């Protein structure tokens, strides 16, 4: 057997400062990417609302932006959104984010309900399942209308790895590049990308699109979140788990594994989501970055 | 629980042995080690946080498993380069070698050099790259038989992709089960449980010498629960796929699963230690 060396000392020495045991969860944590009810293709261990909320409580997640799995395939989105609203009314940590499908007739009615009577802060779009591209004029119209109504827009890039989808129902990953044009044309638009496992090319695209924010749910690699922060800026990364489809602990553990400082962890897990939800204007840091 | 991780004592008690550590997986660097060492160092934060006891990586040994002829020549003529990671982390790393299923002669020689007479504990059958071949290819059979003679472990890359294979050299869990049924005394590790694990688990269910490995796909909920129900916890081994995947993704699959703590210990290390025990004791 070979002798121990300096490298072995590295492997057994105490954790480096970036993963100090003193690092604790922020007192408020916002998960911007959760879905309620049943995934259409199998039952999930946490697909009942009470069990899911108990898990969030255990993990220290204090606010959850919840969409609905039903929105993938249902066309009667009003009742989908009403069920979502009712489920969230019983739990103060759940913030409903309704679904709109702009390929359906009179989609503006759903949008108005969500951002008006239902009091939702934003809407979640599923272009891969609903059959349109972000370059389509109707997406621009939706984004502009949502912005005028004061709502943000979450764009789901994928719900699952294309390699594991049902043979009968396959949804392509959504191409985000057309957002460049819309975010320039609609200066107050607030858009968050969900469920992207970003390639180097995706990171360059995201960095080039003004004000675009991205969730962490499928940002993989041991330093994946740090790489995302470096590419697009700390103020544009929002914590998201894509639970219960993905295991809630996965995104949570990744926040300390990635080696980013505690202050930035809080920014990602709390402050950025608060700012995104509450403000129609880009943060001062982002304005400065865009001006560089 | 902090950030979803169990307490340190619990993590230590799991005795985590990682069967699928992938630093610089496709190419260790033009000098034979630089990128490999760099990726191991890159993984150290996660390794320390997770209190991993051991990690097994898959070494290139100069038999044509990369697309870089200069590297292949370097590793073939300076085999001491292959040993560098094991020398640097002797109590942390375990090694297996990547075989070239397109070059049986070189692979058989490498088996003698690195498994029979060297420190490596088994082999990796790739699913892509110049060394890949379908696991039912006749070229693979001779290698399986020799690994079996040496008492080594076989890690076979597997995926079941929607829309079908991207290359004829890829293997599915269905094909691995067919191969494994011919060698019932040989342990086969079904890497990634086929990726699409609902089918992968079913494919190997009736082939008891196949164990599934847990890494290489998103932290999809319900995987370990189904695997434990259908295969039993004794037929599942943990893999991290670090650093290209995260500890969050891979460890969460096990620690957050709705199974018993004893079943978690089986998956996180006990099973892997057991199948390696024969090979390790002969080193």
Residue A238: strand pairing partners = A215
Minimal-distance CA residue of chain A relative to B164: A163
The 3 state secondary structure assigned to A77-112 is HHHHHHHHHHHHHCCCCEEECEECCCCCCCHHHHHH
pLDDT at A14 over 50: no
Residue A65: strand pairing partners = A95
Q: Which CATH number fits domain B15-281: 3.10.580.10, 3.40.50.970, 3.20.20.140, 3.30.300.30?
A: 3.20.20.140
Residue A125: strand pairing partners = A155
C-alpha to C-alpha distances, A34 to A4, A23, B66, nearest whole angstrom: 46, 25, 41
Give me the count of residues in chain A: 292
pLDDT at B127 over 60: yes
What are the E-state strand segments in chain B?
16-21, 52-59, 93-98, 122-125, 153-157, 188-191, 210-213, 236-237
pLDDT at B10 over 80: yes
pLDDT at A1 over 60: no
State how far the Cα of B29 lies from the Cα of B22, in Å rounded to an integer. 14
Q: Quickly name the fold that domain A25-161+175-291 has.
A: TIM Barrel (3.20.20)
- Residue B279 backbone zone (phi > 0: left; psi -120 to 50: alpha; other: beta): alpha
Candidates B249, B251, B254, B257, partner chain A, best to mutate (most A CBs within 10 A): B249
**pTM across the whole model:** 0.93
Which one-letter DSSP state was computed for residue B129? Answer: S
pLDDT at A5 over 80: no
Mean pLDDT of A88-103: 97
pLDDT digits (tens, 9 = 90+) for A123-143: 999 999 999 999 999 999 999
Candidates A5, A6, A250, partner chain B, best to mutate (most B CBs within 10 A): A250
Q: Do B89 and A11 touch (CB under 8 A)?
A: yes
Element (H, E) at B98: strand B93-98
Nearest chain B CA: its distance from A287 CA (Å):
31
pLDDT for position A23: 74
Q: Do B90 and A2 touch (CB under 8 A)?
A: yes
Q: Which two tokens stand for residue A148?
A: 């005028």
Domain boundaries, chain B: 15-281
Candidates A21, A42, A253, partner chain B, best to mutate (most B CBs within 10 A): A253
Which one-letter DSSP state was computed for residue A69? Answer: G
Q: Do A249 and B83 touch (CB under 8 A)?
A: no
pLDDT grade for A2, boundaries at 50, 70 and 90: very low
| Burial zone of B110 (CB within 10 Å; 0-12 exposed, 13-18 middle, 19+ buried) | buried
Q: Do A246 and B87 touch (CB under 8 A)?
A: no
pLDDT grade for B1, boundaries at 50, 70 and 90: low
Cβ-based contacts of A5 with chain B (< 8 Å): 87-88, 90
Q: Do A252 and B4 touch (CB under 8 A)?
A: yes
pLDDT for position B282: 79
C-alpha to C-alpha distances, A75 to A80, A130, A159, B2, B44, nearest whole angstrom: 9, 10, 18, 41, 48
pLDDT at B179 over 50: yes
Nearest chain A CA: its distance from B35 CA (Å):
15
Pairing of strands B236-237, B188-191: unpaired
Indicate the residue of A2, A166, A245 with minimum beta-carbon distance to B221: A245
State how far the Cα of A20 lies from the Cα of A30, in Å rounded to an integer. 22
pLDDT digits (tens, 9 = 90+) for A179-234: 999 999 999 999 999 999 999 999 999 999 999 999 999 999 999 999 999 999 99
Q: Which two tokens stand for residue A212?
A: 């675009």
Cβ-based contacts of B45 with chain A (< 8 Å): 15-16, 18-19, 222, 257-259
């Amino acid at each position: 057997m070979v002798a121990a060396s300096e490298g072995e000392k590295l492997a057994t020495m105490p954790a480096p400062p970036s993963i100090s045991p003193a690092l604790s969860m922020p007192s408020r944590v916002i998960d911007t990417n959760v879905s309620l009810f049943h995934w259409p293709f199998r039952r999930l261990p946490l697909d009942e609302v009470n069990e899911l909320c108990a898990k969030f409580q255990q993990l220290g997640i204090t606010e959850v932006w919840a969409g609905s799995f039903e929105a993938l395939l249902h066309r009667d989105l009003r009742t989908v959104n009403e069920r979502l609203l009712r489920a969230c009314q019983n739990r103060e940590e759940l913030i409903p984010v309704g679904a709109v499908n702009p390929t359906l007739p009179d989609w503006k009615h759903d949008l108005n309900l969500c951002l008006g009577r239902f009091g939702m802060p934003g809407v979640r779009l599923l272009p891969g399942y609903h059959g349109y591209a972000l370059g389509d004029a109707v997406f621009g119209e939706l984004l502009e209308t949502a912005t005028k109504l004061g709502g943000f827009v979450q764009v789901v890039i994928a719900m699952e790895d294309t390699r594991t989808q049902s043979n009968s129902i396959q949804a392509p990953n959504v191409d985000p590049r057309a957002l460049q044009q819309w975010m320039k044309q609609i200066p107050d638009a607030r858009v968050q990308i969900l469920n992207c496992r970003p390639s180097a090319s995706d990171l360059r695209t995201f960095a080039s699109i003004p004000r675009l924010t991205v969730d962490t749910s499928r940002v993989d690699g041991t330093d994946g979140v740090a790489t995302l922060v470096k590419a697009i800026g700390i103020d544009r990364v929002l914590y998201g788990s894509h639970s219960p489809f993905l295991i809630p602990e996965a995104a949570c553990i990744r926040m300390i594994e990635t080696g980013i400082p505690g202050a930035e962890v809080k920014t990602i897990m709390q402050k950025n989501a608060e700012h995104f939800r509450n403000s129609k204007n880009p943060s001062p840091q982002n304005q400065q970055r865009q001006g560089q | 629980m902090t950030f979803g991780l169990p307490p340190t004592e619990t993590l230590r008690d799991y005795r985590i042995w990682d069967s699928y550590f992938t630093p610089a997986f496709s190419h260790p660097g033009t000098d034979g080690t630089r990128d490999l060492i760099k990726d191991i160092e890159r993984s150290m934060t996660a390794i320390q946080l997770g209190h991993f006891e051991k990690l097994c990586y898959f070494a290139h040994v100069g038999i044509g498993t990369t697309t870089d002829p200069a590297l292949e020549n370097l590793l073939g003529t300076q085999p001491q380069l292959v040993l560098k990671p094991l020398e640097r982390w002797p109590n942390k790393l375990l090694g297996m070698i990547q075989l070239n299923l397109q070059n049986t002669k070189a692979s058989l020689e490498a088996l003698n050099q690195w498994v029979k007479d060297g420190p490596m504990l088994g082999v990796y059958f790739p699913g892509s790259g110049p060394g890949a071949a379908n696991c039912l290819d006749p070229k693979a059979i001779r290698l399986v038989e020799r690994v079996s003679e040496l008492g080594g472990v076989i890690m076979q890359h597997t995926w079941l992709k929607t829309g079908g294979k991207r290359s004829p050299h890829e293997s599915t869990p269905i094909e691995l089960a067919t191969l494994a049924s011919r060698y019932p005394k040989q342990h086969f590790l079904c890497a990634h449980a086929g990726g699409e694990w609902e089918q992968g688990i079913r494919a190997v269910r009736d082939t008891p010498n196949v164990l599934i490995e847990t890494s290489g796909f998103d932290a999809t909920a319900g995987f370990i629960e189904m695997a434990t129900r259908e295969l039993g916890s004794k037929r599942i081994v943990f893999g991290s796929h670090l650093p290209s995947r995260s500890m969050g993704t891979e460890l969460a699959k096990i620690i957050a699963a709705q199974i018993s703590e004893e079943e978690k210990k089986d998956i996180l290390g006990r099973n892997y230690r057991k199948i390696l025990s024969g090979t390790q004791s002969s080193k």
